[in-house]
Structure 1
Amino acid sequence: MLTFSPLSAAQNKLIIGLQNEWPPYIIDGTPPRGLSVDIVTAAYATQGYDIEIQVKPWSRALKEAEYGRDVVVIAAWYSEERKHTLLFSEPYLYNEISLITLKGKQFEWGTYKDLAGKTVGVIKSYAYDDDFLQSPWFKRVESTDLLSNIHLVMNGRIDMLIEEYRVALWTMRQNKIAPNLFTKIYPNVAYSGLYVASGQSNPNAQEYIDAFNRGLHLIRSNGELDRIVKKYDNE
């Protein structure tokens, strides 16, 4: 005879999701919220999963995933280097990656050669476009976080920074820095997809990625994805 417990059947399986604080995509709190948090939570819920978000420094979150801990990172950028250690979902959003400098110091550019002699603030362990990382024409200056790069630009220690534009504006406002002091340098560097990723050495990685992809298709088709995006854009 088989016994059946309605309570146990209703309980979702739990996934641990790691990510650094990256507003408005990941906003630290109890519990964490944000654009990526809400999208990933909604997609997994359709597949019978709960996700517990743990906010950690990006380099630590990435290493824990790459070294095979039973986790996912919820807002990763794809790179050729990372594909050797991580499994990636389908992209659920696209980021607008831009060069940002002080107003009055903008200039036109078409190729990386136009950045010759410039210094660009980057964040350690972030994945940028491979052409950007390999270009010999300009110097990349590493910092631990975006706010440090914003201050470096303000103080004239670097010429510009590279960042997702929505994130940059949010960070400036939250730290009482007037966004109108800065300007985007056109054109954008890239449009980069946002992915859920899990370590290839994690035995549950493929299951987690497949489940997210199925859930993503559902929330995209039923309009939930658009509702979440509009909520944060309006906010």
Structure 2
Amino acid sequence: MLNWFYTFLGVIWLLFSPLSLANSQIIIGLQNEWPPYVIDGNPPTGLSVDIVKAAYATQGYDIQIEIKPWSRSLKEAEYGRDVVVIAAWYSDTRKDTLLFSDPYLYNEISLVTLKDNQFEWGTYKDLNGKTVGVIKSYAYDDDFLQSPWLMRIEASDLLTNIHKVMNGRIDMFIEEYRVALWTMRKNKIPPNLFTKIYPNVAYSGLYVASGKANPKAKVYIEAFNRGLRLIRSNGELDRIVKKYDNE
């Protein structure tokens, strides 16, 4: 009995010794609040948060999430701070400054307007003269960004764009549809006032990214990719996605 007790004490000492704490590998993850993918809290949660944590945990990393405005998160990563952003869209303009992981999810990017204003479109020429709310520093489909047929009006966040559509200041906004619905419900805005305009603008992969100026960027991205393959093969990724889809 005494031998078991001393063994137990030895395990506790190893777990909480300074050496054990020193060996803990911590990564700082930056992201704006983007529910249901990133939900501010203590600690932050969300679909992306849970996936990224699970993948990094398989590689011995503990990722600590800091919620910041997206433009600031992106700049800190691009300027070489020792961080990753956990839910980034790829774009040609970003590839020069950021190193991207393999995509861990795909987002359905849609145009959203009021039900009373719905219309059909096939090409961007069909949107000639219409105004679309976008969010500053977000990466959108290159064809959407380069289209001369529509006016892109910047805002700091999605809720602002939702209100602009409701007030008639813009015709529509562009957003991942799950995010749009979540934001409306959270702010007591009836989602049935709005409709998605088909077809979708794009399907965008969701990535972890780190600034190429960060000496640890390659290590972080490769570790995530290894972890992602593991949680995909053992079913953990599917379990996390189903949890949030059911909610």
TM-score normalised by length of structure 1: 0.96
Report whether the alignment pairs 1:177 with 2:189. yes
1:1-36 deviations in whole A, cap 9, x for unaligned? xxxx94445853000000000000000000000000
1:226 aligns with 238
**Unaligned stretches of 5+ residues in structure 1:** none
TM-superposed CA distance for 1:108, in Å, is 1.0
SS of aligned partner of 1:64:
helix
Alignment of 1:2-17 (within 5 A): 6-7=14-15, 8=19, 11-17=23-29
TM-score, reference length from structure 2: 0.92
Aligned identity (percent) is 82
| Selected match of 1:56 from 60, 68, 71 | 68
**1:33 maps to 2:45:** yes
**Match of residue 163 from structure 1:** 175
Q: Report the alpha carbon displacement of residue 48 of structure 1 after superposing the two structures with TM.
A: 0.4
The corresponding residue for 1:44 is 56
Could you list the structure 1 runs, at least 4 aligned residues long, displaced by more than 2 angstroms after superposition. Answer: 5-12
Q: Which residue of 1 aligns with 2:140?
A: 128
**Residues 120-169 of structure 1, C-alpha deviation per residue, up to 9 Å, x if partnerless?**
00000000011100100000000000000000000001000000000000
Q: Say which structure is richer in helix.
A: 2
State the distance in 2 between where 1:50 and 1:16 align: 9
- The SS at the match of 1:166 is helix
Q: Does 1:205 align with 2:217?
A: yes
1:174 maps to a residue whose letter is K
Aligned letter for 1:125? S
Tell me the equivalent position of 1:21.
33
Matched, 1:77 2:89: yes
Which residue type is aligned with residue 47 of structure 1?
Q
- Give the corresponding residue for 2:4: none
**Please, which moves more after superposition, 206-215 or 9-18?**
9-18
Amino acid at match of 2:56: Y
- For residue 130 of structure 2, the aligned residue among 114, 118, 123 is 118
* Residues in 1 aligned to 2:127 and 2:202: alpha-carbon distance in whole angstroms: 16
Tell me the matched-pair count. 231
Which residue of 2 is the match for residue 91 of structure 1?
103
* Aligned mates of 1:179, 1:103 — CA distance in 2: 10
Larger Cα Rg: Structure 1 or Structure 2? 2
